[in-house]
Structure 1
């Protein structure tokens, strides 16, 4: 772009791309960029959307514009923008403008667009602002962050997750396995790894809507206690336990896992909790769970991980819209923390491809039930979920994130674990 070219949004976008525009881009000023016959089209509909993008570069600004409906993706359903995200993440590469270019771009597009519009109501405060309101991962702040994500609407989760009401990675026998069967298989695999037997006691921390608690009680005759920081989850789980007639074996409490005082459990399962507790809290976390186990008891830790153990902050979109205060690290860090807490790690398994399949199932449910979901939580929130699940799916596809099971035992004072010479469960 020369210094005499008229400044339009389309020319501005083209000037900042290293390899050209991979989709058709149109803007409210009548300008356009990219191939006219592209299957996927981005339409920037108003000045507010431009201001979002200019004042929060990267994924946050574009996410704000998309959530508010100022940036529309044509060619994909808002409940599953996976194809668009694959294309954009593979081919959309911005270059950094020189200081002189940046000044010209701002002047050409209007200095008024440097005033940030109010963020969408679905957005949480940035981390530094949240820190003012409470210590990170304190009981009170964790309760607030969990409520932000999980207390959206039980009905919304029923529509997206399906009958299992399970919001964690499933285990697929084949790519064609149904989501419901894969979630049941996940619970059964965990029960097998924990070697659950009738009459044993199970503690499930971060139990969600009680899926593991109910499965262990119903299928294995285990006396199961689940705890969750989400009041809506606890209430839903209590109704499900009563409906299935499992009240003599299963219980779910609205409680922080750190407040569980009982001990002597034969097994502890933690399915999707570790992401929320903070890496620096791992020693206390594994120490507390070890303290809940009897000698010879087993712990199964199921969580999203990174493919490395280096410190890495969560992206702005995920942190502000999906999992405030969430942290991920590599499985090596988790294994080390478990070992340092006095647990013997017996088995580690990576289920990364299974989470991509799980997310695809949730996206399909959101598309299938789109009108009902929008009626329940509003279109902006439904857009957040479609974007988050599709983006996460890309991450699992590309090994940006993984999902690991870590199975460990609390050995007795003589080092006996009760673990067999070879695992007894089927892959």
Structure 2
């Protein structure tokens, strides 16, 4: 009999006390009951045979081992759940691991947690056994905590940035091909309709960037943090632009250069494995930064935008495309799960901070646009790709890493939908010393 069928009621009853009256160890159901309040919208099934919640719930949280319970108890919140889920000690039954969106929605909206009084918490801990409260070693997909990363240098040093980028992007190009689709584009797409295909929407994004930058044949474009070279190849192929991309990921650079050769763009497009700070010192007609600002650190914004300004000729345009906080006063650092499993050292600021820093670097901002709803649609499409290619992705990167991606993308989709985070494009120009500008009276990419 499965755990789901074992108990049709609210919770399995505690075992009968043994002779001598010693209290039995609490069951998984006992622990969940102690840490939640109200009716559970999901089923919780424990490795010990106990269960809690409606038997006909569409979603079951299966705590499959003592280690899984220890993960949940020793790192409450998203980190403990992520550790248990990534290791396979926690199952989300009723949803596909490539897209656990519905499970995350129910847990966020309908499960109400409680903090037991101190005496009750101590009693529960003693009954469980203090050894249960010793954190198990984390799954291998977890990066070191921030304070331990000094082995790779100070935050946002070149060595440490290279390590952080490699952690996320040097996973497997074959894996990314299945998840991201043909465009190999790992940034927010632009949808004219929710029914647009992902490829159509990604091409529309690149075209929007190109039009905002007023790209024309013969111009020179620098794309920092270029990923697999999508913008570089689009600019060269569709606009005849001489385009150079730089990325800290060696795997991305290798894939992008092969794609450039495959598409016959050699001589127009190039991608180099470089830190953006080592990009060629000459000036360009346009600079695009699509999804890099999140990785450089908020304290480095002045140097970063100053660097981009210096790479622009007078009159040249900058398009900065990045994820932001919805609130300018929100903390910059990401939560524990994102920091340990997805983007080590990643930081986000509000759109006001981004615009202010661009202004303070000596650039003139002309236009800003929030595309957060588009990113929610993009993430939903990536999750569909992961589900459709699940077996291949698991064979390529392992079940744990594939689960990280499903969890991260589904959770991010929810955050964009609910305005927890946003995606802003900011367009600016390098204006002349006396205010000279080539920017038109009205945006030249709009009808």
With normalisation by structure 1, the TM-score equals: 0.98
Corresponding residue for residue 269 of structure 1: 288
Q: CA deviation at 1:55?
A: 1.2
d(CA) in 1 for partners of 2:406 and 2:388? 12
Corresponding residue for residue 6 of structure 2: none
Corresponding residue for residue 332 of structure 1: 352
Q: Judge conservation of contact 1:359–1:392 (CA < 8 Å) in 2.
A: yes
User: Are positions 1:366 and 2:386 aligned together?
Assistant: yes
Corresponding residue for residue 418 of structure 2: 398
| 1:90 equivalent among 87, 106, 109 | 109
Q: Judge conservation of contact 1:309–1:333 (CA < 8 Å) in 2.
A: yes
Corresponding residue for residue 43 of structure 1: 62
Tell me, what secondary structure is at the counterpart of 2:37?
coil
| 2:134 equivalent among 115, 119, 123 | 115
User: Are positions 1:300 and 2:291 aligned together?
Assistant: no
Corresponding residue for residue 386 of structure 1: 406
User: Are positions 1:168 and 2:187 aligned together?
Assistant: yes
d(CA) in 1 for partners of 2:106 and 2:97? 15
User: Are positions 1:375 and 2:383 aligned together?
Assistant: no
Q: Counterparts in 2 of 1:319-358, with a 5 A limit?
A: 319-358=339-378
Deviation per residue, 1:20-77 (Å, 9 max, x gap): 3221111011111112111111100110101111111111111100001110011000
User: Are positions 1:99 and 2:113 aligned together?
Assistant: no
Q: Which runs of 5+ in 2 are unaligned?
A: 1-10, 18-22
Corresponding residue for residue 214 of structure 1: 233
Q: CA deviation at 1:426?
A: 3.4
Deviation per residue, 1:112-156 (Å, 9 max, x gap): 211211110000000111135411000110000000000000000
Q: Which runs of 5+ in 1 are unaligned?
A: none
Corresponding residue for residue 418 of structure 1: 438
Q: Judge conservation of contact 2:217–2:239 (CA < 8 Å) in 1.
A: yes
More moved, 6-15 vs 401-410: 6-15
d(CA) in 1 for partners of 2:152 and 2:321? 30
Runs of 4 or more consecutive aligned structure 1 residues displaced over 3 Å after TM superposition: 3-6
d(CA) in 2 for partners of 1:93 and 1:152? 36
User: Are positions 1:281 and 2:300 aligned together?
Assistant: yes
Corresponding residue for residue 136 of structure 1: 155
Q: Counterparts in 2 of 1:310-321, with a 5 A limit?
A: 310-312=329-331, 313-321=333-341
Corresponding residue for residue 98 of structure 2: 79
d(CA) in 1 for partners of 2:368 and 2:189? 16
Q: CA deviation at 1:333?
A: 0.3
d(CA) in 1 for partners of 2:397 and 2:382? 16
Q: CA RMSD for the aligned pairs?
A: 1.6
Deviation per residue, 1:188-215 (Å, 9 max, x gap): 0000000001000000000000000000
Q: Judge conservation of contact 1:14–1:21 (CA < 8 Å) in 2.
A: no
Tell me, what secondary structure is at the counterpart of 2:112?
coil
d(CA) in 1 for partners of 2:411 and 2:210? 30
d(CA) in 2 for partners of 1:132 and 1:142? 12
Q: Judge conservation of contact 1:286–1:337 (CA < 8 Å) in 2.
A: yes
Tell me, what secondary structure is at the counterpart of 1:327?
coil
More moved, 126-135 vs 34-43: 126-135
Tell me, what secondary structure is at the counterpart of 1:325?
coil
Deviation per residue, 1:252-283 (Å, 9 max, x gap): 00001111133220100000000000000000
